[in-house]
Structure 1
Amino acid sequence: MNIIAWLILGLIAGAIAKAIYPGSQGGGILATTILGIVGAFIGGSLYTLLTTGTLQLAATGLSIPGLIVAVIGAIIAIFIWGLMTRRAV
């Protein structure tokens, strides 16, 4: 998949994931796009693991099923990022 399609998928998946995930995540359009691209890789890798039984670094394609997998991956990325950046009170 070319870089423009990854940017479009990342922007859409990141925006949907931020809208679904509860709470305030902050960040602008660049953070949303990066989050969506990371989510596409996380979701694609988990999908490959579940379907083939092998762990490979894979990204999803620019399609409806690929977008759903990317959004799930972006939600996981938001959760992990929240755990890493949580302040000790």
Structure 2
Amino acid sequence: MNFIGWIVIGGLLGWIASKVMNTDAQQGIILNVVVGIVGAFLGGLVIAPLLGTGTINDGDFSLGSLGVSFLGAVVLLAIANLVFRGRAR
């Protein structure tokens, strides 16, 4: 169940991040899941140690870990926009 929850929550976080960053039109379901999971990984490396919380990749589905994973997904999309389009939205 943990793997399925990881995919579903990662997809939801990636979708919400793509809505916030206004990139949902270019992304599909698979890319939303990838953005959510990779964003959770990046958030776990950078943001989680600062806040003392886990991420969804750690199997922690608390409010703090969801926030860290969401912020990681938003940062990932901002970096992708900056690299591929030359501007962060």
Task: Compute the TM-score of the two structures, normalised by the length of structure 1.
Answer: 0.73
The answer on 1:76 being equivalent to 2:80 is: no
What pairs with 1:1-89 in structure 2 (closer than 5 Å)? 2-21=2-21, 23-25=22-24, 26-51=26-51, 59-60=57-58, 61-86=60-85
Seen in structure 2, the aligned counterparts of structure 1 residues 30 and 77 have a Cα distance that, compared at 3 Å, is same
Output one character per residue of 1:15-52: Cα deviation in whole Å (capped at 9) or x when no partner. Answer: 1111222x335110000010000111111111344257
Give structure 1 regions of 4+ aligned residues with deviation exceeding 4 angstroms: none
TM-score (norm 2): 0.73
Higher percent of residues as helix? 2
Structure 1 runs not aligned, ≥5 long: 53-57
Cα RMSD (Å)? 2.4
* Matched residue type, 1:81: A
Identity value in percent = 33
Q: Which runs of 5+ in 2 are unaligned?
A: none
Aligned-partner residue type, residue 57 of structure 2: A
Aligned pair count? Answer: 81
Higher Cα Rg, which structure? 1
> In 2, distance between residues paired with 1:64 and 1:41?
16
Offset, 1:69: 0.7
Given that 2:14 and 2:32 are in contact with CA atoms closer than 8 Å, whether structure 1 keeps it comes out as: yes
